[in-house]
């Protein structure tokens, strides 16, 4: 009851939205793999070869070196924003708005494809050097640009959340963790990064660097533009300052405070969820090809039926709940990855060891295969 009283409607909204974003982003990623496999099969009909591991050029796979240096790069970026925020805020706002536009267009694309399918064929329209786009892609991009413009004019938190959702889904869908080893390196490094900048940065910089950067609003580009061009006191001066879409915020039922969760606390565990979903699908296809039940003999059939995706997703929810309760008890910001990483990695490692998959998952678990199974029960 004590824990329940420490979770209000804003926290519940954060829980549900973050879990939905991770699940949706993971399945978009898996669907992209299926589409790439289909394209490779079509291309291989003339060459007679097929590689099941081929991926789209836009997909980025994180290797061990990148996993080790990513927390360092994030720390440098955090310090730049902390010390030079006034100098780089406009550039950072514009870059964030551009990325959010592209990401939200990716989020809207399935809906736009569904809406335009009865009206027009899925033929691509040429725009010269800009490329070729379908009607659904043009519609999703137009809606995304409209949303970003309204957000710049109003600065409303709900529009900022929508853009942050697009960023989360796009990052989960387009970034890959190739193995459990890289996953452990990345999440462990980010855990140290999160703990240091939340708990210990105040001892060095006399301020909580993470909280200050996350909560500091930026000048509206329209206001800055009007001042640079001397357009007059009434042009662009009534636009609000912008809270950048690097986080999800939800107001409490009383409106007295906002619940906040950084998109890194969604994306980084989401990459792990995406990895285990792909491994569940790979293992399902391998079992279907071999027509045999894998696993050690001392593992019960019920344990074998529990997927890694379910296990890790439940761990993410429990970790998020623990982080929320801890923040309400201590009345201070908490490094969410301090709770999310152990609650997701430890159950996953334990289950992989019990099922006998730990060695295979640890390094490059995915291999070429000719199976075309496209279904996974979740």
CA pseudo-torsion sign 4, 9, 10, 12: positive
Other Cβ atoms within 10 Å of 109 Cβ, number: 18
Within a domain: 308: yes
Within a domain: 52: no
pLDDT of residue 56: 56
pLDDT tens figures, 214-263: 888 888 888 877 777 766 655 555 788 888 878 888 887 666 667 888 89
pLDDT confidence band for 340 (50 / 70 / 90): very high
Within a domain: 89: yes
98 pLDDT above the threshold of 50: yes
Within a domain: 82: yes
**Beta strands 258-262 and 247-251: pairing type?**
antiparallel
Consecutive H or E run containing 126: strand 125-126
Structure tokens at 77: 């970026």
Q: How many domains does the chain have?
A: 1
Residue 161 known to be catalytic: no
Q: Residue 201 contacts by C-beta under 8 Å, 6 or more apart in sequence?
A: 207, 208, 209, 210
pLDDT confidence band for 367 (50 / 70 / 90): low
Within a domain: 377: no
Residue 265 known to be catalytic: yes
pLDDT tens figures, 343-356: 999 999 999 998 88
Within a domain: 49: no
Nearest to 63 by CA among 162, 147, 179: 179
pLDDT tens figures, 176-209: 999 999 999 999 999 999 999 999 998 999 888 9
Catalytic residue among 8, 161, 194, 357: 194
Within a domain: 293: no
Catalytic residue among 223, 265, 280, 357: 265
Q: For residues 275 and 86, what is the distance between their CA atoms, to the nearest angstrom?
A: 38
Within a domain: 146: yes
278: containing domain: 9-40+59-119+130-286+299-363
């Amino acid at each position: 009851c004590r824990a329940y009283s420490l979770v209000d409607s804003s926290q519940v909204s954060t829980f549900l939205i973050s879990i939905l974003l991770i699940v949706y982003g993971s399945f978009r990623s898996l669907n992209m793999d299926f589409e790439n496999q289909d394209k490779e099969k079509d291309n291989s009909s003339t060459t007679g070869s097929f590689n099941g591991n081929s991926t789209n050029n836009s997909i980025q796979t994180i290797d061990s070196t990148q996993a080790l240096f990513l927390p360092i790069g994030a720390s440098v970026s955090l310090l730049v924003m902390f010390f030079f925020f006034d100098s780089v805020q406009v550039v950072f706002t514009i870059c964030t708005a551009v990325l959010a536009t592209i990401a939200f267009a990716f989020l809207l694309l399935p809906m736009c494809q569904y809406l335009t399918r009865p009206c027009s064929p899925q033929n691509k329209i040429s725009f010269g050097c800009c490329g070729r786009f379908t009607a659904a892609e043009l519609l999703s991009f137009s809606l995304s640009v409209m949303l970003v413009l309204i957000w710049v004019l109003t600065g409303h938190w709900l529009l900022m959340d929508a853009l942050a959702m697009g960023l989360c889904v796009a990052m989960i869908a387009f970034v890959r963790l190739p193995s459990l080893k890289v996953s452990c390196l990345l999440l462990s490094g980010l855990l140290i990064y999160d703990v240091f900048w939340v708990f210990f940065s105040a001892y060095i910089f006399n301020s909580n660097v993470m909280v200050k950067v996350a909560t500091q609003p930026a000048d509206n580009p329209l206001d800055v533009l009007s001042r640079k061009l001397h357009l007059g006191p009434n042009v662009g001066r009534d636009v609000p300052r912008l809270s950048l879409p690097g986080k999800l915020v939800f107001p409490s039922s009383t409106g007295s405070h906002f619940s906040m969760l950084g998109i890194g606390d969604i994306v980084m565990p989401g990459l792990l969820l995406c990895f285990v979903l792909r491994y569940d699908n790979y293992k399902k296809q391998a079992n279907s090809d071999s027509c045999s039940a894998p696993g050690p003999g001392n593992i019960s059939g019920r344990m074998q039926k529990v997927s890694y995706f379910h296990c890790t997703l439940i761990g993410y929810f429990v970790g998020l709940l623990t982080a929320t309760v801890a923040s309400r008890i201590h009345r201070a910001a908490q490094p969410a990855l301090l709770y999310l990483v152990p609650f997701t990695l430890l159950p996953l490692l334990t289950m992989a060891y019990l099922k006998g998959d730990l060695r295979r998952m640890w390094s490059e678990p995915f291999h070429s295969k000719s199976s075309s199974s496209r279904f996974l029960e979740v």
